[in-house]
Structure formats: structure tokens, C-alpha cells
Chain A
Amino acid sequence: MTDPYSILGVSPENTDEQIKKAYRELAKKYHPDVNPGVDTSDKMKEINQAYDLIMKMREAGNKGRYYQDTNTSSSRNYSSDAFNLYRAQTLIAQGRYTEARIVLDSVNQASRDAEWYYIYGVLLANSGAYFDARVKFEEAVRRDPYNPLYRQALNRMSAGGAFSSSPRGNSVSGDCSGCDMCSGLICADCLCECLGGDLIRCC
């Protein structure tokens, strides 16, 4: 995998602001509107992915730093494990399952949390190993019963397919049909009328 920092032409020491600036400049440079007739979509995609990855990694790093204050003994591991989880997710998104498996296996036993089980489940489900994927999702739900993402993944495994290949909750949370909108407006109207106002004049 190419280093996301080198794609943006920055170094890991740079601040978030500097990275954002570098990203904006590159995005301007390769924007399709600026380059008519040249296909820059691949380059744009690369830049976007690199930027997203760096931001995610930094976010994870911050989480690691937070733990550093409270729990000094496992701080180092935590931050590198969080990095590994994100790395695994990017590899899964790119379809490089063998590498993702190696990265996930390298996370040490003690710090395998619900998220680790979830990501491993996604990896297995994407590579077609549905029996083991189910076991992993069940474990993720057992460890963190209140995470809707894990529960959703397990349900998707049980509801017969529809397991999307996207690694992280890209699912549509709820459809909004014409009916829903109308009934919503009517409800709002009723509530307004209760308080003396009016939303829909005619009813």
C-alpha cells in the first residue's frame, strides 16, 4: 500500500491544518473542472482516499492518547492496534483480503475487542466464509450488545444475504417515502394547532 502521507506530499509530523491545506491544493489542481479533456478521476480518488485514511488514523491516534492518560500500561498497544484496525478496513475495501487477515491476526489477543471481531467478521463475510463470519459477529454483539452496527451485521447474516461489501455502515438508515412526508406534515400540523398555531392552512 502506498503511504497516504506521500500521496498528499506531507509528513506525519505535519498538523491537521497543514494536511487539510495540502489536500485542498491537490484537489484544486486535479479537479475535473480545471482539467477539461483530461481524465483525472483516478488521481482524485487516490487523493480523497489518502486524506480520509490520514484523518481516520489521526482520530484513532487521539483516541489512543486519551487512553494513555487513563491507562498507561496498554497505551502504546492500543494506538497501534487502532491503526491496524483501520489499515485492515482499508485493505478489505480494496479487496486485499489476505493482507487484511495478516494485519488483523497481528493484533494481540488481549486487545481484541468488539470492533476487532466485527471487522474480522466483515473480512470473512466478504471472502465468502459465512459460517465463521457469523461466529465473529455473534462475538462482537456479545461484547458490545448496544452497538447497532454489529447487531445489523449479524441480522444481515441471518436475514439471508444482502450483506453489502462496504466495510463500514454505509447502509441506508431509513427510507423516506411520499407517504412518510405527508403523515409527518399532518402530525406537525396537529401539534401546531394544539399550541394555537397552524402549519397547513386548509386543514
Chain B
Amino acid sequence: MFGYIRPDQKNLLVKELELYKAVYCGLCNALHKYVSPFMPLTLNYDFVLLASLRLALERTPPRTERKRCTASPFKKKCRLCVSECAPLIYTAQASTVLSYYQLKDDILDRDKPFFKRALKKIILILITPAFKKICRENSHIRGLSQKTRDNLSKLSALEKTGSSDIDTLADISGQLLADAASTGLEGENYETASQLGKNIGKWLYIIDAFDDMEKDSKSGAFNPLTVRFGSVEKVKQNAEAIDAVISNYVYAASQLTDNLPSTCYNGIIKNIITEGLDITAQKVLFKTNGKVKKTND
């Protein structure tokens, strides 16, 4: 379900775009250094929002460096310094937890092509020791892992019953991102991060369900939208209503961005929420530009 949360690059200032790329590279570096050398394989754009959010909430000054790396061995790239940058390290570890459970879920999914599943299995085997290590060493991450596991089992239990209560399903799914965004924070910051994560998580759940609808109907897998509206065709007829409903999540999230302390990351976060999410939604719901590519570049 990853890869839907992107900025609207055309509407970013040049400095914001540079910062966005620097956060991406910094996060990649943090995954490499603090989790496992294989972790950058699981990196995607969704986690950059998570990282920016934590960087903004913890008011981290953007210290950057220009270095070569495995992904770009010839050209030096600007990236956030990862040493002593707690938000980046946290995001790297939290994203490991999310990726770990996502991979575990994916390899059980018998409908995926064999070689894809095999690839995911290999990545899972490669990152499992690192996942166990960070869980052992960091009590926050251990707590997050516990909560994520609980919520996922709640979600799959509800999905097994074929529930049509899409709001509850989205709520549980949103809680995954809420926990990932807010663990370790306190007070007002906790509240902001948690609510932001929850609304974006809910949005993500619906968008993902819509995008996977046809695939699910072929394989007979559970899809909350198909159950809710009756059939794939009916869901498509109701695309505008769905768009209206999920824009409420985006609206709620965009209201919450006003609670962020003013930092250089706010531009990125606001752009992703107010513009990036909508572009993805239009692409998915109305297929304005073919199917959204889910890339991990």
C-alpha cells in the first residue's frame, strides 16, 4: 500500500524540492547506517512525509552534506546529516517496522506473481535480523511494533468477516500510520502527529482499496469498497462520492498542518497534503493519467 504519498513537484519552491530530496537521501542513509544495509530497498516516498513531519515537530535544523553513495556512486548528492539527527533515525526505524509487516503480509498473498513474492521473501529474510535488533534495543520501536501487530490482526480479523463498515476499517488502518508518526512524542506534538497520521492513513486505505479493486475482484480477495457498494461497477459509478468523502480526510489533515511549528519543512508537508494527495486521488479515482506507478526509486 506504499507509494501514493508524493509532493506536487511543480508547485514546490526550488529550495523545497532540494530539501525534499535531501530528506529522501538522508532517510536512505539513516536506513543504511542505523538499521540494515538492505533497508534502502524498501524506501519509498511515503516515509519522506513521515520524516519531514518528525523533523518539523522536533524543530531540527537542516544540516546537509554532499556525499556519494551506493545509489549514486558518481555524482555527489546533497543529503541531511544523519548523525545525531533523532527524527531521521526514528523514521528509519519506524519505517522498518511498517515495511516488515507489509512484506510479511505480501508474501502470504498468493495472488501476487511468484517471482515478486520470491523477491519480497528475500528482502524479508535480509532485513529480519535488523528488525529484531532495533526492537530489542529501542523500547519505543518495540512498543510501535506491538501496536502495529495488534492493529493489523484486528484489521485482518474484521476483513475476514467481510465487514461493510468501511469507516471502522479505515480507522484501524489509519491508526497504523498514526502510531508510526506519533510514537515517542509528547503533548501537543503527539496529538498533531497522531491526528495527521490517522487522517492520511485513512485516505491511504481508501485509495489503496480503489486502486486494487479490479485485481481483488479477479482473485476474490476482500475489498472494502466492493463490499460497501456492491460491485466494482457500482464503486466506479460512485467515484465522485468517494472523492468527496476522502477529501474530508485531506481537509482535516490540512487543518492540522497549522499546528506545526514554523520550520523549513512546512512547505513540503503542506504541499504533499494539500496538493500531492489530491493529484494521486484524481489519478486513481478517475484514471486521468493511467494507473499510478508504484515505484520504489
Using a CB–CB cutoff of 8 Å, the interface residues on chain A facing chain B are 124-125, 128-132, 134, 157-163
Contact = CB atoms under 8 A, between A and B. Distances in A.
A131 B167 contact: yes
Contacts of B228: 131
B245 A161 contact: no
Interface residues of B, number: 21
A129 B251 contact: no
Identify the 6 closest CB pairs spanning chains A and B, nearest first: A161-B251, A160-B247, A129-B167, A158-B244, A130-B248, A130-B245
Contact of B249 (A124, A130, A134, A158): A130
Given A161-B252, A162-B251, A128 B245 contact: no
B158 to A, nearest CB: 14
A130 B168 CA distance: 10
B166 interface: yes
B248 A161 contact: yes
Interface string B164-178: 011110110000000
B251 A131 contact: no
A124 B245 CA distance: 12
Interface in B247-276: 247-252, 254
A161 B250 contact: yes
A184 to B, nearest CB: 33
A129 B241 CA distance: 14
B176 to A, nearest CB: 15
Interface string B148-183: 000000000000000001111011000000000000
B246 to A, nearest CB: 8
Interface in B165-212: 165-168, 170-171, 198-199, 202
A161 B244 CA distance: 8
Nearest to B206: A131
A160 B248 contact: yes
Given A160-B244, A160-B251, 5 more contacts: A128-B167, A128-B252, A130-B245, A161-B251, A162-B251
Nearest to B278: A160
Given A128-B252, A131-B228, A162-B251, A157 B167 contact: no
Given A129-B167, A129-B171, A131-B228, A157 B251 contact: no
A125 B249 CA distance: 10
Interface string B219-253: 00000000010000000000001001111111110
Contacts of A130: 167, 245-246, 248-249
Contacts of B254: 161
A132 B167 CA distance: 7
Contacts of A124: 167
A131 B252 contact: no
30 contacts: A124-B167, A125-B248, A128-B171, A128-B198, A128-B202, A128-B249, A129-B168, A130-B167, A130-B245, A130-B246, A131-B166, A131-B170, A131-B228, A131-B245, A132-B167, A134-B241, A134-B244, A157-B244, A158-B241, A158-B244, A159-B244, A160-B244, A160-B247, A160-B250, A160-B251, A161-B247, A161-B250, A161-B251, A163-B248, A163-B251
A28 B143 CA distance: 53
B245 A134 contact: yes
Nearest to A159: B244
A159 B251 CA distance: 11
Contacts of B245: 130-131, 134, 157
Nearest to B224: A131
A138 B251 CA distance: 21
Contacts of B166: 131
B94 to A, nearest CB: 23
Interface in B114-149: none
Given A128-B202, A131-B166, A131-B228, A157 B171 contact: no
B173 to A, nearest CB: 12
Contacts of A159: 244
Nearest to B169: A131
A163 B170 CA distance: 19
